[in-house]
Amino acid sequence: MEDERMNRAPGSRKQLSLRCLSCREEYCSTDAGTCKECYEEASETEEELKSEIEDLKAKVAFLRLGSSPLDSHKRSSSIGFSDVVLVASDEFHSNPVSLLAHKAVLASRSPVFKAMLEIEMEESRSGTISISDVSYDALRAFVNYLYTAEACLDEQLACDLLVLAEKYEVKHLKMYCEKFLVSKLNGDNSVASYSFAHQYNANHLLQSALSMIIEDMDNLTKSEEYTHLVEKDPRLVVEIYEAYLSKQTNTAARSD
């Protein structure tokens, strides 16, 4: 026993290896990260940040009106005391469908609804707001977002909600949809996304799509979306080429 311990303990390689306080694995000095003090500080900071997240989540849950669309399929109107009706009409449904809502909530989330409801307009007199070119599902998701700040997005719904968010100036929802659509960008949809972003002033999505397009210029002219965009809005195509040229000039200037 004594011999065994003696053999293991005083090896010269052991002295160079350290044990990580986080993963508990051994490492050699070239793989060293932080000192003990910084590790302890970072651990405390992480705990504090996590606790702040818990507090903020509880605040969000408290401030939400009605049940979350992620929890159930109940509509915002389930909270009662509604004083306004939203009517969706699209070209595919002859019968308009309606949703109950609250003026105070709509006005607080959207300056456009606020103006409609505060000024003596048709909407404030009748207590009905007509929303055209929107499916019932998109309108329901839109209203739910105004009450809960949550939505179960897919790409189609994100586009529909972005259009509504732009129209009714709901900045928070617009950014939420943009972030989602940016996360779904790829070589196949970048041109269409770029065109869509331009149409609805979605600058974050526009810049991300543009960056993706000019990373892969060789394939640009081969896509159907490109041909379509040249016909529909050639100025937008010009902007792609200008951005590409500007990037090339910058790269060249940096390498000089």
Minimum Å gap between C-beta 79 and a second copy is: 5
Q: How many degrees, rounded to 5, is the angle at CA 164 between CA 135 and CA 62? A: 100
Task: Count the Cβ atoms, other than its own, within 10 Å of residue 210.
Answer: 22
Site for a second copy in 165-194 (CB under 8 A): 172, 175
Inter-residue contact 164 to 134 (CB < 8 Å) = yes
Among 5, 81, 94, 255, binds a second copy (CB under 8 A): 81
By the 8 A CB rule, do 240 and 229 touch? no
Contact by Cβ (8 Å): 65, 56: no
CA–CA distance, 178 with 196 (Å, rounded to integer): 11
Using the minimum distance from each CB to a second copy, give the nearer residue, 59 or 93. 59
d(CA 11, CA 16) in angstroms, rounded, equals 10
Shortest Cβ 45–a second copy spacing (Å):
7
Residue 23, both tokens: 């993963």
Least distance (Å) between residue 230 CB and a second copy: 38
Task: Looking at residues 191 to 230 of the shown chain, list those that interact with a second copy (rule: CB under 8 A).
Answer: none
Using CB under 8 A as the criterion, what x/- string covers residues 17-46 for binding a second copy?
-xxxxxx-x-x-x-xxxxxxxxxx-x--xx
Binding mask 94-123 for a second copy (x = CB under 8 A): --------xxxx-xxx-------xx-----
**Which residues lie across from 99 on neighbouring strands?**
86
List residues binding a second copy (CB under 8 A).
Answer: 18-23, 25, 27, 29, 31-40, 42, 45-46, 49-50, 52-53, 56-66, 79-83, 102-105, 107-109, 117-118, 148-149, 172, 175
